[in-house]
Copies of this chain bind each other. A is one copy, B any other.
């Protein structure tokens, strides 16, 4: 009998899981639930905010591509999950039964600092990025200090670095840099920590980069409040300080959305409501429930004075999606083999004209190796990757054989590996 897999979420994680499932096994019915009618290439949202991309450049309507791929698409919000009954309810009250459930909703954004939701720009959704573009244009009309950074508990620091560098580049281009100071304020204990205790020489690289571009920084602090023209933070000694700011972009914390909480405490992690998963990204209590992408719970790698979380990059998410697909198909076939993502990752920060890239295998220590590269070609590589990824989304194949071949043979990295014992958290 054909099994029914329900995927909640139409981002990198959800789409990659659906495409991988379709590719591996023809005999599966797949339904994808997403309230957003389009796939958005998240890594390009900062570019949207700078006006370097248009909305239509970096999004793909989900309807046509999913229908072509043979995936049913329900363009509604998933509102409730009952993992005992194996059912999902959507915003319209529709009830959908499943054999397997993949939760790939992405995060709920938690703008925890006081006044942050109103006064801080955001690049976490396409809509936020579009609004940020307006704020940035306003800054350019009336220049003043800029603050970019991350509040306590943030796990995703990369875009904050990238955005600070992009703002610098755009202001130089417009001849306004002279009138704008840029300060990076973060919960990381040092520059380049990235929630990972650094990646190779990332500390030195980011310190040098910020020094060359005259971006000042304040590390190891808790941003407490974002006001219209001021960012208030507290240092480790408990002193409250502030920075003037006419344009603020602080990364929010990520948490599990309400639909995960509705699945109960065996699915939603008590710490932040993300999906509890084992090394194979399967829920330990409900073997037919998977968590994929930012919504999967990975414990912090490094204990930091101000709390930080572990980032999940696009490539890590692709690995999770691939492992989930492999594991579901193996389970359907009654096989015992299970797969875990290697969590190797390539992270690129685009600075407008040049880029800086980190290739870590794996992201979470102990690492086998780390490489970093900087240059104009890195900027072009990121742009090329964006076009390639969107092409894959439209084509309905997220991991073409030639990509697999190149990644394994040249980079000697694998997306997934057989897993002997799935128990324990993914680290």
Name A's B-contacting residues (CB within 8 A).
172, 177-182, 198, 200-204, 207-208, 211-214, 216, 362, 365-370
Contact = CB atoms under 8 A, between A and B. Distances in A.
Contacts of A211: 198, 200-204, 370
* Tally of this chain's copies: 3
Contacts of A201: 207-208, 211-212
A308 to B, nearest CB: 17
Q: Which secondary structure dominates where chain A touches chain B?
A: mixed
Contacts of A182: 366
Nearest to A212: B200
Contact of A181 (B203, B207, B365, B370): B365
Contacts of A214: 200, 365-370
A204 B198 contact: no
16 contacts: A172-B368, A177-B366, A178-B366, A179-B366, A181-B365, A200-B211, A200-B212, A201-B208, A201-B211, A202-B211, A204-B211, A211-B370, A213-B369, A214-B365, A214-B368, A216-B365
B368 A177 contact: yes
Residue with the greatest number of chain B CB neighbours at <10 A, chosen from A198, A203, A368: A368
A167 to B, nearest CB: 12
A182 B207 CA distance: 25
A200 B211 CA distance: 4
Given A177-B366, A200-B212, A204-B207, 8 more contacts: A172-B368, A172-B369, A198-B211, A200-B214, A201-B211, A201-B212, A204-B204, A211-B370
A178 B368 contact: yes
A365 B213 CA distance: 10
Contacts of A179: 366
Contacts of A181: 365-366
Nearest to A180: B366
A190 B296 CA distance: 38
A366 B177 CA distance: 7
A365 B203 CA distance: 23
A172 B362 CA distance: 12
Contacts of A365: 181, 214, 216
A366 B180 CA distance: 7
Nearest to A192: B211
A322 B368 CA distance: 44
A212 B370 contact: yes
Nearest to A364: B178
A200 B207 CA distance: 10
A172 B370 CA distance: 12
A216 B214 CA distance: 27
